[in-house]
């Protein structure tokens, strides 16, 4: 009896072990673990506005050439009017028209009657226009332009010619624009020209001509209350996991934000921030088309366009792209604060991001006043008499705003001033208003 009882117990235990084995196997097959990840939660940060390519790639000057007269403007309204008309055209194949032109030939292109010319501060890849205008042929040459000329001189058809000029490469590309409503365009463009300033061409030997106003310029000066954007918004937008970011004061005027991958320094007096992601650094030259598109997308991701910023320069060797602050159609420069957005692109992401954290986008200025500036011709004549200026090194002369800060009243003052460009830098010419035509360099 004892042996039978033992055998019976063994059978029961074996049966229970089999059941337990099946249960454990089933549990393993159906087990879904809760996995804790270190991936950052997606934080949707909207600081200001998003922009389109047509908002950031804009000319700073338009010259309309008529019989025996040049008309010019920096104002957004007439420039935008013509550019918006161009968006309705169907542009055909872009082809090389001249492989090597000299400066005199480029000057002739601008002043030939019945043409409108747009001036850009930096070389623009022709291909990028496929995202702004309508092209019938999407095969583009790997070429650039910083002058865009519309020509309505040719036959009586509804077509017009477009010329894309690179003054640095000394090349001209041409395309035909169809479906232009040519007569209507000419009529309305001439109406725009009637309200524009008369400009003088300053011809220089073996140099690009300068185009300056022939009479005094009346420009509005503005004073705005300072509006800062909380740097914490940029911290939340730029770091992968904002909750893990460490913050510490470097000094009374500087705050630093860090995690294990990136660093952001905030300079409060200068109202600027400098974000760096060292691991992304890339020493290979950048692709111009990608630099423009990537930089636009990057700022759009956090709606970081706080004001009117326009593409102003690029250095493909160090993968740098800059956007200049504009106000009322004029560039803004300052010694007191930053007026540019700079990006350096690394491996698949931004390596360095340097920008202001204030905005001029406020509804109404606290005060305004009209300022009369000397004509561009007078400014050029003055520069010609200065013994410390090499006139051959001057690339352009134009009006801009000088941005200064009133610390006592927390105001930004935008004062119109003449500037001249030398070796890529803009240098202010400060008029001594009480001295009439007397000027002094600052």
* Rg (alpha carbons) of the chain, rounded to whole number: 30
Tens of each residue's pLDDT in the chain, 442 residues: 454 555 554 565 455 545 555 554 444 344 333 333 334 444 568 899 999 999 999 999 999 999 999 999 999 999 999 999 999 999 999 999 999 999 999 999 999 999 999 999 999 999 999 999 999 999 999 999 999 999 998 767 889 999 999 999 999 999 999 999 999 999 999 999 999 999 999 999 999 999 999 999 999 999 988 789 999 999 999 998 999 999 999 899 999 999 989 999 999 999 999 999 998 888 888 999 999 999 999 999 999 999 999 999 999 999 999 999 999 999 999 999 999 999 999 988 999 999 999 998 777 888 899 999 999 999 999 999 887 888 989 999 999 999 998 877 678 899 999 999 998 899 999 765 334 444 434 4
Predicted pLDDT of residue 364: 80
Of residues 6, 28, 61, 10, the one with CA closest to residue 395: 61
Q: Any alpha helices (H) in 35-112, and if so which ranges?
A: 53-56, 76-86, 103-111
Tell me the two tokens of residue 64.
Answer: 């309309």
Phi, psi of 189 (to 5 degrees): -70, -40
- Report how far Cα 43 is from the mean position of its chain's Cα atoms: 25
CB 122 within 8 A of CB 146: yes
DSSP secondary structure code for residue 135 in this structure: B
CB 339 within 8 A of CB 325: yes
Q: In sequence order, which residues have a C-beta less than 8 Å from that of residue 419 and are 6 or more positions away?
A: 331, 333, 397, 398, 399, 400, 426, 427, 428, 429
Predicted pLDDT of residue 43: 53
- CA–CA distance, 371 with 401 (Å, rounded to integer): 12
Residue with the two structure tokens 């561009």: 376
Predicted pLDDT of residue 6: 54
CB 323 within 8 A of CB 312: yes
Predicted pLDDT of residue 356: 97
Phi, psi of 240 (to 5 degrees): -60, -40
- CA–CA distance, 344 with 316 (Å, rounded to integer): 10
- CA–CA distance, 411 with 3 (Å, rounded to integer): 103
Predicted pLDDT of residue 387: 79
- CA–CA distance, 442 with 436 (Å, rounded to integer): 17
CB 111 within 8 A of CB 64: no
Domains of the chain, with CATH numbers?
Answer: 59-214 (no CATH), 217-442 (3.30.310.160)
Residue with the two structure tokens 């008499």: 385
- CA–CA distance, 313 with 320 (Å, rounded to integer): 8
Integer angstrom CA distances of residue 85 from 82, 137, 193: 5, 19, 15
Phi, psi of 170 (to 5 degrees): 55, 45
CB 43 within 8 A of CB 380: no
Q: Which residues pair with 305 in a beta bridge?
A: 49
- CA–CA distance, 376 with 203 (Å, rounded to integer): 14
Integer angstrom CA distances of residue 229 from 137, 234, 304, 331, 359: 43, 9, 10, 21, 7
**Residues 39, 295, 169, CA angle at the centre, nearest 5°?**
150
């Amino acid at each position: 009896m004892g042996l039978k009882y033992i055998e019976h117990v063994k059978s029961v235990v074996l049966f229970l072990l089999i059941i337990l084995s099946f249960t454990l196997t089933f549990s393993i097959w159906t087990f879904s673990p809760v996995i804790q990840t270190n991936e950052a939660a997606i934080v949707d940060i909207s600081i200001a506005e998003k922009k389109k390519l047509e908002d950031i790639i804009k000319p700073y000057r338009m010259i309309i050439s008529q019989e025996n007269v040049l008309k010019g403007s920096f104002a957004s309204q007439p420039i935008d009017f013509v550019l918006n008309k161009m968006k309705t055209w169907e542009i055909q194949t872009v082809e090389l028209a001249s492989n090597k032109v000299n400066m005199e030939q480029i000057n002739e292109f601008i002043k030939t009657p019945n043409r409108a010319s747009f001036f850009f501060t930096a070389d623009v890849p022709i291909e990028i226009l496929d995202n702004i205008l309508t092209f019938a042929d999407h095969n583009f040459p790997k070429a650039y332009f910083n002058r865009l000329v519309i020509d309505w001189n040719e036959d009586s058809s509804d077509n017009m010619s477009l010329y894309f000029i690179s003054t640095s490469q000394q090349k001209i590309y041409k395309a035909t624009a169809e479906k232009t409503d040519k007569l209507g365009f000419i009529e309305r463009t001439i109406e725009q020209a009637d309200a524009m300033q008369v400009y003088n061409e300053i011809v220089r030997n073996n140099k690009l001509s300068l185009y300056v106003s022939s009479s005094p310029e009346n420009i509005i000066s503005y004073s705005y209350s300072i509006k800062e954007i909380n740097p914490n918004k940029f911290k939340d937008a730029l770091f992968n996991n904002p909750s893990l970011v460490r913050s510490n004061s470097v000094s009374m005027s500087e705050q630093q934000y860090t995690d294990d991958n990136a660093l952001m320094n905030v300079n409060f007096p200068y109202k600027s921030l400098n974000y760096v992601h060292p691991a992304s650094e890339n020493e290979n030259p950048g692709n111009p088309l990608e630099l423009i598109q990537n930089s636009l997308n990057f700022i759009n991701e956090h709606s970081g366009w706080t004001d009117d910023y326009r593409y102003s320069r690029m250095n493909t060797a160090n993968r740098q792209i800059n956007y200049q602050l504009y106000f009322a159609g004029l560039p803004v420069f300052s010694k007191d604060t930053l007026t540019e957005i700079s990006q350096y692109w690394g491996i698949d992401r931004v390596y360095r991001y340097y920008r202001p954290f204030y905005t001029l986008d406020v509804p109404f200025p606290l005060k305004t006043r009209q300022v009369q500036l000397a004509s561009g011709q007078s400014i050029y004549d003055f520069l010609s008499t200065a013994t410390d200026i090499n006139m051959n090194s001057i690339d352009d002369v134009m009006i801009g705003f000088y941005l200064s800060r009133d610390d006592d009243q927390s105001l930004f003052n935008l004062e119109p001033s003449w500037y001249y460009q030398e070796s890529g830098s803009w240098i202010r010419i400060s008029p001594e208003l009480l001295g009439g035509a007397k000027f002094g360099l600052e």
